[in-house]
Amino acid sequence: MEALLLSRWQFAITTVYHFLFVPITLGLSIFTALLETCYVRTKHSGWKPVCKKLTKFFGTIFLINFAMGVVTGIVQEFHFGMNWSEYSRFMGDIFGAPLALEALTAFFLESTFLGIWMFGWDKLSEKAHCACIWLVAFGSNLSAFWILVANSFMQHPVGYAVNNGRAEMTDFFALVTNPYVIGEYSHTLFAGLATGGFVVLAVSAWKFVHDDGSREAFRQTLKAGAVYMLIGTLGVMGTGHMHAQYLREGNPMKLSSMEALWETENPAPFAIVADINQDAGKNDFEITIPALFSFMLYNAPEGEVKGINDLQKEAAAQYGPGDYRPDVTGLFWSFRIMVGAGGLMAAIAGLVGFLTFTGRLEKFGFVLKFLPWLLPIPFVANSVGWYIAEGGRQPWIVVGLQKTAEAVSPNITSGEVWLTMIGFTVIYLLLAIAALYAALRFIRRTNVTQAEGRNG
Amino acid sequence: MMELNVLWFVLITVLFTGFFFLEGFDYGVGGLLPFMGRTDEERGMIIRTIGPVWDGNEVWMITAGGALFAAFPHVYSTMFATFYLALFLMLVALILRGVAFELRGKADCLCWRRFWEGCIAFGSLVPAFLWGVAVTNLIAGLPINENMHYLGSFWDLLSVYTIVGGLTFLTVFLFHGAAFLTQRLGDYGLVLRAKEYALKTGAAAIFCFVLCFVLTATKTDLFHSLPAALLLVLTGVCFIAGYLAMARGKFKSSFILSSLAIVAVSCSFFTGLFPRLMVSSISPAFSLTIDNACSTPYTLSIMTVAALVMVPVVLIYQGWCYWVFRHRVTGKDLKAH
């Protein structure tokens, strides 16, 4: 049993760590591609070399991040078989396909063209070189699609039949068009833009303050980054709202747990804070806004929302006795952290955008000085977001089909998993330090000045 | 018409063969790096020969794993759980190697650069060895019960045969890498040094291969299949011919022959396995085969379409990538980056 708990921890640690890098890859790949497009298209002789330097500058940050994403991603692919062999056995007919498609259509594309992009500056025409980074960006964002197709099946199984003791695919098209994918993918994509945008803002702000020679170049990326991040943040909010409305039918247990709504109510209130008592199936204390939860789900001040206790009864009737509730406290607070972080990010992007576009940056320099310290915000939001997604489907590994406890590899011992879990954690910590050191050193030492001077 | 599960056995063979051929020289180059490169610039050039391509090459392994998952989920499940600690070690190695390529150039301090070069070497030598251990374990058979669960421990994966298998892979890849370097380096002095290392590692590889050949004949049933046996003989012939070509300074032929040897040994192994993918040492009835371990015909048909469309496309653009970087690497290339 201990191997199960440790395997869950190991997967949680490695997957959250992996997802520190993924959103930067998603967002920064597109941003770098946009920068290079500016470089290729601009006719302005003063800006052209600056655009090129900026492309290489953000491209290098992207590359360090990409390397971290790739190596931690391989761990995740191996993990399914190593620690969760019974899951892979039960689900392989369905889950393997998007994974293989991800490798075939996306990994090859991004890895190959990134190699060409990195070393091909003097070997390709400007346009061909720029096309390479666009293919990288396309490949990265396509890979996110496939893995979320796979993940969405775990959240909301469609297009399958259970035969021969396993889940078998009956409709590939249903798998790919799973309504759950639409919410998850769009939410992740915009989270990538927002995170990538925040990285651009934080780096640009630091350079703007500390590197006088590069100031004008980074004034432009502050503008671009603020817009980019604002689009991302607003997109995250919109798609999150849409996805939560969908959860009403897609996964009501997760939805009500996020809001710690124990009893079915119409209209349902929204709890701002709650002292959750999972054992008793109620909140010992709460501050609520009447009808707001219903309003968020129905766009109207009324509408029934099922409570956790009723959903638990339904699940027990359907699947047999057992506790089918996720960790309500964790979900409730994670959701509030995520939403709070999202709101904060929108405000930051809006503020920086306002200051840059109205030419007030110099006057409010302290904002830029402070900005790099806020960089953890999107990563906190991304991590708790995944906690909601994955914690919210517990005790299931595939909702309604297989429980997490049934999925673990039977032959691995707790000693083995202790060893690998500590091993991964230590290596990941050391790598984070090394990569951060390399990235910061690079950012500090690289100047993006106009070669020609005066112009611009 | 060919059954889809047979077709997928062939596709898995193709993916692993492509992986051994391409990552074979990446591992070899990485393993030779700290020994062959005597100055920072030399090591930079050696790394630069695989710099643009190694990541794309590694995707062959990831795709092979993904394809195994999609087409033969039971094999993926049993194999990855069986090799648990070995795969952990391989992951650690691949993590260090992958990050090292990116971080090495990010500081001027020689100790920083040498550290990451060490990681590249470690991250190349360890997987090369482990793949040999894995392959020989698969063909020799593992204690797998009727539920497709592995009953042994990590230490049961190590035997004389599998260690010889690991050393064979390691030395063959080192030779392959050295032969690759003779084709890619612009500095003739370095090319000659690559030849030196090729002759050393090649001699060790021939010794290991002969041992491995004998052990395969005694410990496995690979020789029950005539094509598999012939392919294994062909492997030896190609490799020794490649070695002799190297000794006579015919570098291009040598690289081609070492590539053929790797293709032949991979094909020999899969042919010897067919129709099994994992051999049970407990009972032949417990072996994982293309029939009891495969996905449904529906899933296989979807994957077949995807693979038949995508694999040629991938081959075209990866080929283009090699064409873009077809010129030999010189010191000038290091400054351009």
> Is there a single domain that holds both residue A290 and residue A421?
no
User: Do B103 and A64 make contact, defined as CB atoms within 8 angstroms?
Assistant: yes
Q: Please report the residues numbered 77 through 106 in chain B whose beta carbons come closer than 8 angstroms to any beta carbon of chain A.
A: 77-85, 87-88, 91-92, 94-96, 98-99, 101-103, 106
Tell me the chain A residues in contact with residue B306 when contact means C-beta distances shorter than 8 Å.
100-101, 104-105
Tell me the chain A residues in contact with residue B311 when contact means C-beta distances shorter than 8 Å.
104
**CB within 8 A of A27, min separation 6: which ones?**
A192, A193, A194, A195, A196, A197, A199, A228, A232
The confidence band for B1, taking pLDDT boundaries of 50, 70 and 90, is very low
pLDDT at site A201? 95
Which run of H or of E encompasses B43?
A: helix B40-50
Give mean pLDDT, residues A84-103.
92
Angstrom CA distances, A439 to A57, A60, A218, A446, stand at 11, 8, 17, 11
> Is there a single domain that holds both residue A422 and residue A441?
yes
Q: How many CB pairs under 8 A join A and B?
A: 231
CATH number of residue B114's parent domain? 1.20.1630
> Is there a single domain that holds both residue A310 and residue A349?
no
Beta strand pairing status for A160-163 and A166-169?
antiparallel
* Torsion, Cα of A73, A79, A81, A83 (10° steps): 180
Confidence check: pLDDT of A446 > 90: no
Best residue in B8, B103, B330 for a mutation probing chain A (most A CBs within 10 Å): B103
| Min Cα separation A68/chain B (Å) | 6
Confidence check: pLDDT of A451 > 80: no
The confidence band for A452, taking pLDDT boundaries of 50, 70 and 90, is very low
| CB-based contacts of A451-454 (< 8 A; 24+ apart in sequence) | A451/A49, A452/A45, A452/A46, A452/A49, A454/A46
Token output for A159: 């297009």
Collapsing DSSP to helix, strand or coil, A402 comes out as: strand
The confidence band for A213, taking pLDDT boundaries of 50, 70 and 90, is confident
In a domain? residue A88: yes
Q: Does B330 contact A at CB distance below 8 Å?
A: no
User: Do B302 and A172 make contact, defined as CB atoms within 8 angstroms?
Assistant: yes
pLDDT at site A289? 87
> Is there a single domain that holds both residue A227 and residue A256?
no
In a domain? residue A456: no
Number of domains forming the structure of chain A: 2
> Is there a single domain that holds both residue A266 and residue A239?
no
In a domain? residue B117: yes
Token output for A261: 């709504």
> Got the DSSP string for A271-328?
EEEEEEETTTTEEEEEEEETTHHHHHHHSSS---B--HHHHHHHHHHHH-SS-----H
- Report how far residue B135's alpha carbon sits from residue A309's, in angstroms, rounded to the nearest whole number: 52
Beta-bridge partner residues of B289: B276
What digits encode the pLDDT tens for the residues A325-360?
A: 999 999 999 999 999 999 999 999 999 999 999 988
| Min Cα separation B37/chain A (Å) | 21
> Is there a single domain that holds both residue A336 and residue A352?
yes
Which residue on chain A is closest to B149 by alpha carbon?
A: A411
Tell me the chain A residues in contact with residue B55 when contact means C-beta distances shorter than 8 Å.
70, 111-112, 114-115
The confidence band for A453, taking pLDDT boundaries of 50, 70 and 90, is very low
Give mean pLDDT, residues A259-274.
89
In a domain? residue A226: yes
Of A276, A303, A325, which residue constitutes the final position of a domain?
A: A325
In a domain? residue B63: yes
| Min Cα separation A385/chain B (Å) | 26
In a domain? residue A452: no
Of A325, A358, A390, which residue constitutes the final position of a domain?
A: A325
Best residue in B55, B89, B96 for a mutation probing chain A (most A CBs within 10 Å): B55
Q: Does B328 contact A at CB distance below 8 Å?
A: no
> Is there a single domain that holds both residue A333 and residue A303?
no
In a domain? residue A393: yes
In a domain? residue A220: yes
Which residue on chain B is closest to A415 by alpha carbon?
A: B85
Give mean pLDDT, residues A215-224.
90
Angstrom CA distances, B38 to A213, B32, B45, B109, B328, stand at 38, 11, 11, 16, 19
| Min Cα separation A195/chain B (Å) | 22
- A121: which DSSP letter? T
Token output for A177: 């068009």
Collapsing DSSP to helix, strand or coil, A396 comes out as: strand
Collapsing DSSP to helix, strand or coil, A456 comes out as: coil
The confidence band for A65, taking pLDDT boundaries of 50, 70 and 90, is very high
Instruction: Kindly report the backbone phi and psi dihedral angles of residue A157, in degrees, each rounded to the nearest multiple of 5, phi listed first.
Output: -65, 135
pLDDT at site A455? 38
User: Do B56 and A92 make contact, defined as CB atoms within 8 angstroms?
Assistant: no
> Is there a single domain that holds both residue A421 and residue A347?
yes
Q: For residue A378, give the nearest of A346, A331, A356 by alpha carbon.
A: A346
Confidence check: pLDDT of A46 > 80: yes
Best residue in A62, A77, A119, A426 for a mutation probing chain B (most B CBs within 10 Å): A119
Collapsing DSSP to helix, strand or coil, A89 comes out as: helix
Average pLDDT taken over every residue of chain A: 91
In a domain? residue B31: yes
> Is there a single domain that holds both residue A404 and residue A279?
no
What digits encode the pLDDT tens for the residues B62-103?
A: 999 999 999 999 999 999 999 999 999 999 999 999 999 999
Of A301, A325, A349, which residue constitutes the final position of a domain?
A: A325
Q: Does B7 contact A at CB distance below 8 Å?
A: no
- B278: which DSSP letter? E
Number of domains forming the structure of chain B: 1
Domain that holds residue A290: 252-325
The confidence band for B336, taking pLDDT boundaries of 50, 70 and 90, is low
In a domain? residue B318: no
In a domain? residue B235: yes
pLDDT at site B337? 54
The confidence band for B110, taking pLDDT boundaries of 50, 70 and 90, is confident
Percentage of residues of chain A with pLDDT beyond 90: 72
Q: Please report the residues numbered 162 through 221 in chain B whose beta carbons come closer than 8 angstroms to any beta carbon of chain A.
A: none
pLDDT at site B278? 92
User: Do B55 and A95 make contact, defined as CB atoms within 8 angstroms?
Assistant: no
Lowest mean pLDDT among A194-203, A292-301, B170-179, B195-204: A292-301
Tell me the chain A residues in contact with residue B48 when contact means C-beta distances shorter than 8 Å.
119
pLDDT at site A359? 87
In a domain? residue B291: yes
In a domain? residue A373: yes
| Min Cα separation B234/chain A (Å) | 31
Collapsing DSSP to helix, strand or coil, B293 comes out as: coil
> Is there a single domain that holds both residue A262 and residue A390?
no
Which residue on chain B is closest to A124 by alpha carbon?
A: B324
User: Do B62 and A74 make contact, defined as CB atoms within 8 angstroms?
Assistant: yes
pLDDT at site A362? 85
Tell me the chain A residues in contact with residue B324 when contact means C-beta distances shorter than 8 Å.
116, 120, 123-124
What digits encode the pLDDT tens for the residues B273-288?
A: 989 999 998 889 999 9
Domain that holds residue B102: 13-299
Token output for B158: 């190590």
> Is there a single domain that holds both residue A389 and residue A268?
no
Give mean pLDDT, residues A356-375.
89
ipTM of the complex: 0.91
pLDDT at site A361? 84
Strand blocks (E) in chain B = 276-278, 288-289
> Is there a single domain that holds both residue A318 and residue A335?
no
Tell me the chain B residues in contact with residue A409 when contact means C-beta distances shorter than 8 Å.
77, 81, 84
Give mean pLDDT, residues A317-321.
91
In a domain? residue A58: yes
